[in-house]
Chain A
């Protein structure tokens, strides 16, 4: 079983819909991250959380929100999806400062 699990793996939806992407981990790491990956733009940080009570905005947080329900769960929401949020979304975890990040296999999101 994967250590970092993202659901769903693929999602197609319409403009204006609310969408939640979920991430769960069995690695026991405190730190969790949400990134989006776009062709030619690389990985960009949306939100990150260093523990359950600590949530921080990344470089492109507008239009997104997150919830850290437990150490093992970190979800990303798009309250009202728009087409330019079409991208590949990755959740990642790490055990501490400057430690390697462990990524899920991504969610491919298409907004029509």
Chain B
């Protein structure tokens, strides 16, 4: 069972277009992280959202955490070829005594291609 559903799986757009990537779950997360991965490299953290309803901006990227902390979205404005890559969301869930530890569960990723 996939805990985190990411959509779309593939997205190919022209430079200058806007796009939104979604990350959905039936589980509540204590926090959610977004990563970007380029070919031949490991994922690199873009942002962490913690509070329900939180919105964070990173230049042309806007990240939102759902009010119930079950979902998140990544919106890119005026996409550029340099935005091309695999975008991964990862939700943190506590476990153990009092939730003292946590695990990250990753979505399957959205492969974005921005054509010049």
Contact = CB atoms under 8 A, between A and B. Distances in A.
Determine the main DSSP class of B at the interface with A. strand
Interface in A63-94: 90, 92
B84 to A, nearest CB: 17
B106 to A, nearest CB: 4
Interface string A9-21: 0000000000000
B31 interface: yes
A105 interface: yes
Interface of A: 4, 35, 40-45, 48, 50, 90, 92, 97-98, 100-106
A41 B108 contact: yes
Interface stretch (B12-20, B43-51, B54-62): B43-51
Contacts of B33: 100-101
Contacts of B43: 43, 90, 101, 103
Contacts of B41: 105-106
Contacts of B45: 100-102
Given A90-B42, A106-B42, A98 B106 contact: no
Given A90-B42, A92-B42, A106-B42, A101 B108 contact: no
A50 B42 contact: no
Interface string B3-21: 0001001000000000000
A98 B42 contact: no
Contacts of B108: 40-42
